[in-house]
Structure 1
Amino acid sequence: MGIGQGRMMTVSHSAIGPAGVLLARLEGVRNSGRGWVARCPAHTDRSASLSVAEGRDGRALVKCFAGCEVLAILHALGLELADLFPQRIADASPEGRAASREAWRQSGWAAALGVLSREASVVLVAARALADGHPLESEDHARLLVAVERIEGAREVLA
């Protein structure tokens, strides 16, 4: 029995990932774009109204175009919200924990640098307007204040 041909097949996370676990329990699965469509198990579905895709981080992305809630879909399949996410790989050794802390710190730096880049653009636009003698409108002034707050937050991450 292949994916989507049967229902309630037992498949481990490590073998095929969260999207595969979900797809193995659905009916009427077929490829569609970058993902799949299937009949939604949370309502009487004659056509494929459920979209399933895999996110960049390995999580299963689920959307019923008839409006069913994700939790209702998972409940109908005997799954939980945690089943949509890949299992964490944790190295409990001191070296593994140190490497995880360093990776976390560097991801914070990358995010802070992204914030600095975007918010510096806002400050630059406002500075040019002011330098050209154009006063900032209230919305622009409010956005400039948000940019300043975000730059301060990024600075704290990088310090």
Structure 2
Amino acid sequence: MPLTAHAVTAYIRPFIHSNVRTRLDKMSVVPAIPANFQPVHDVIRNYRNTTIAHSQSTLVMPLPVAILDDRGKGVDVIGVSVTHQMPFVLAERFRDLIRAVEDIVEEATELVLDRLRTWLKEQDTAAIGTWRLPVISEALDADFTSVHRRKRTPQFTMYWRVWEPPQDPIR
């Protein structure tokens, strides 16, 4: 389920609103989803919206489960979610859809890459030396936060922790 959920989320991300990029299906240089894959695309988009992202479908059933003691008396309640996996036949069609969309995007971006390659060859060493580099920083995992917004200059933070070996109980 985690791999399926990630694949569905990653696939649909370019087709939904973003504050930092144009939707893939709204770009004039990108052709539409091929007609034979449109039904699969629609199912995956709906699956993402109702099951993966929001748990609003009958494919997810949250349940309270009563824990009983030996006499049948209730002692606790826990929450359990029963989730239906993507059927294998749909997963195969989804794989084929991903491949088709990858081909479409690769073809659409080739013109941009060609222009960038031509432009790059015209740049001299001095100009290249003035380019701003991505900002890569590190922080302790205790400082992790998810509130950072992407900036114009690419930035990436790696979070890690200092490993402390276990204490020897004999000493």
Larger Rg: 2
Same fold (TM over 0.5): no
With structure 2 as the length reference, what TM-score do the two structures score? 0.27
More helix by share: 1
